[in-house]
Structure 1
Amino acid sequence: MQDSRPVEHVELNTPELLLRPWREEDAADVLAALRDPETAQWNPSAPGLDLAGARAWTRARADWSAGTHASFAVTDPATGVLTGSVSLHRIHGDEGSIGYWTVPSARGRGVATAAVRLVTGWAFGSLGLHRIELCHAVANVASCRVADRAGYPWEGTLRESHRYGDGRRHDEHLHARLATDE
């Protein structure tokens, strides 16, 4: 992928998931999700997030024109209900990073793993990326399971590399996939 080339909006789907660009009307669901204590801990948003802030959040994630990210609402294809989020971000050259969260009712059902796999395949095939990194707090054991199940091998520990929702810097595990991985 060329630097600074806009990423075109796409929808990705499986029989169980529809990944689509964010819409402003998703704001109320986003607000509820980001207020969930577990989501807020591992995916901190602006303090005091309100509905107007959630609308701004969805607008920013829906704008892929800079070519540096592609963010998807993860939904149930039959009902349209929001089940999570997955974002390919820090796209630069042929590399990027991936992040995700799920709403409480979707946890433990493989939603995050399936969404990460789907976006990873798209990023390697359609965007021509070669390497995608996935980082999560060491204490976030569920995210480590997602990384493993989505085929992202563990590469190491980044010491106090990110400030999370509790305001503290946490060690993170670094996982990564290459386009050449099976």
Structure 2
Amino acid sequence: MSPLAGPTLPQMGRKVVLTALREDDIDRVVEACSTEQAERFLDTPWPYSRADAEGFVREFAPSGWRGEHDERVWAIRESLRGPLAGVIGLRTIAGEVGFWLHPDAQGKGLMSDALRTVAGHAEGCLTWPEVHWACYDGNLGSMRVAKAAGFTYLGTGEGEQRGEPVVQHRAIRTPSGMPAGARPWPPLD
């Protein structure tokens, strides 16, 4: 099997190291994407299987780095050789970021750091004028992360999950001032 394609150099945050996904991440992907939270808040297949994780790690993530689709995915780790804490990706056509954390990595500030790091990469290296974020209604953890990473809340809109209509919260991060349509973040307790 050929080596997995991915970023050639790790991205360093204050608390995280963003790297390519590895073969030994597959079990952690299955664990993270098989939770009740994943079913409710992610656009992953459900029920999530080992074959889904193998396809994600071996095919989807590397093919994005080869330019075969528009999403670049990084593994989130606490150290270069550490276990997978989560995944964060940039979708270039939509100018959007998406992410998830393994349950045992939540509550440590890792995702806010990863999001600040990737948004900074999008704004600086990729020269994106703005980075978009969205989550399904009820995902307060994701909303807290976006707020902590400097995103400005824009309100709600219609979305779709597994073919069903849903409400999505939306926010944006711009390096140049307050965007039009900014609103206060709802209570995130």
Shorter-normalised TM range: 0.7 to 0.9
**What amino acid is aligned across from residue 43 of structure 1 in structure 2?**
L
Task: State the superposition RMSD in angstroms.
Answer: 2.2
Partner of 2:16: 17
Normalised to the residue count of structure 1, the TM-score between the two structures is: 0.83
Q: Name the structure where strand makes up a greater proportion of residues.
A: 1
Any conservation in 2 of the 1:156–1:174 contact (CA below 8 Å)? yes
Shift of 1:50: 2.5
Any conservation in 2 of the 1:15–1:77 contact (CA below 8 Å)? no
Any conservation in 1 of the 2:14–2:113 contact (CA below 8 Å)? no
Partner of 1:65: 66
The alignment covers a number of residue pairs equal to 170
Shift of 1:51: 2.1
**What amino acid is aligned across from residue 45 of structure 2 in structure 1?**
A
Which ranges of structure 2 fall in alignment gaps of 5 or more residues?
Answer: 1-5, 179-189
For 1:170, which of 166, 172, 175 is the aligned residue? 166
SS in 1 for 2:66: coil
Q: 1:179 to 1:9 in 2, by over 3 A?
A: farther
Alignment of 1:141-152 (within 5 A): 141-152=140-151
Partner of 1:4: none
Q: 1:162 to 1:52 in 2, by over 3 A?
A: same
Which ranges of structure 1 fall in alignment gaps of 5 or more residues?
Answer: 1-6
Query: What whole-Å deviation, never above 9, does each CA across 1:37-91 have from its counterpart, x for those lacking one?
Result: 11232113223433232111112112222262211110120651111111111x1
Question: Share of identical aligned residues, percent?
Answer: 24
User: What is the CA–CA distance in structure 2 between the aligned matches of 1:48 and 1:138, rounded to whole Å?
Assistant: 21
Q: Which has the higher contact order (CA 8 A, sep 6+)?
A: 1
